[in-house]
Amino acid sequence: MHEEKHFTSSDLIKDIVIGMADGLTVPFALAAGLSGAVHSNDIIITAGVAEIVAGSIAMGLGGYLAGRTDVEHYDSELKREFAEVEVVPEKEKQEVREVLAEYGISPALQHEVAEELSRDKKQWVDFMMKFELNMEKPDALRARKSAFNIGASYIAGGTVPLLGYFVTDTPEQGLLISSIVTVSFLFIFGYVKTKFTGGSPLQGAMKTMLIGVLAAGAAF
């Protein structure tokens, strides 16, 4: 039997990618930069933790605001569509026919479907939102979920580059361990991320790793 496999958790993966990628890269670059300027692991750890706290809050808030914007935009367009089917129904029916025409539906069937849809304004408006505006109703809880997912992923990713400084005595030693651990983690993260989202896992791993290395190198 034919079994279709589709990846359906794109929002969660997108949040994790955003939070984890920045969480791995920014604290890694900060720690690398400080390793070339200070002589104490305590300073690097303190600065790194402060950055992770501030960064996770900023990233989480950004995710929350983006989620709220999606909901507000959808509600605004939904209200506009309801008004249009009330005020200019014939124009909206024509737009339904134009959408169907793009799929090769015959004129007779276009007319029949448009008339059938117009009997139920909610279904009519839902059709226009999906097929005219290409908008899906966002999850009302998406903003809070996104804020948590991004913030938690940032903290998880940001902890990795600091591990080397907890187990060594000098910034030079800490940077060496941190680089090995973080670059390895960036490679694995890039591989898994691309495996889930499609594309070449090895190519995705190399790209993710290269971005982190370039950022840390520039900061150092």
- Taking Cα atoms as reference points, which of 193, 217, 192, 187 lies closest to residue 28? 217
134-169 confidence digits (pLDDT tens)? 998 888 888 999 999 999 999 999 999 999 999 999
163's tokens: 């591990």
Return the domain boundaries, the chain: 10-68+140-219, 73-131
Note the pLDDT tens digit of each residue in 166-216. 999 999 999 999 999 999 999 998 898 888 777 888 998 999 899 888 888
Q: Look at residue 36 in the predicted model and tell me its pLDDT.
A: 86
200 Rama sector, left if φ>0, alpha if ψ -120 to 50, beta otherwise? beta
